[in-house]
Amino acid sequence: MGQKHYDLGNDFYAAMLDQRMTYTCGYWKTAQNLDEAQEAKLDLVCRKLQLKPGMRVLDIGCGWGSFMAYAAEHYGVECVGLTISKEQAEFGQRLIKKGCR
């Protein structure tokens, strides 16, 4: 059932998510828009995890890879993600190849 839900098409989700396709709540403390709120949340999670360069992260249910891309780019960690969605996996792979932005 989850696979059908997430494979509805990336265009469907892009219409309601931030540019990274982050599928969780944002952190709006100082954010002015959805992209800023999602980036603030990703950074908050990385800081709470005390991520450091060289660490490895396993992201089970990684969605479109927004957390992994952010953590790799800004905290120097290596990430492995698992998803049941073909469309999410393909989007995440393209995200990483573009340089995590």
Is the predicted pLDDT of residue 99 greater than 60, yes or no? Answer: no
The model carries a pTM of: 0.86
Give residue 29's pLDDT.
96
Give residue 23's pLDDT.
87
Give residue 101's pLDDT.
44
- The position carrying tokens 């660490």 is 55
Q: Are strands 56-60 and 78-82 parallel, antiparallel or unpaired?
A: parallel
SS3 state of residue 37: helix
State the architecture of 2-97 in CATH terms.
Answer: 3-Layer(aba) Sandwich (3.40)
Single-letter code of the amino acid located at 60? I
The domain ranges of the chain are 2-97
Give residue 76's pLDDT.
96
Q: How confident is the model over 27-67, as pLDDT tens digits?
A: 999 999 999 999 999 999 999 999 999 999 999 999 999 99
Give the up-direction half-sphere exposure of residue 99: CA atoms within 13 A in the CB hemisphere. Answer: 1
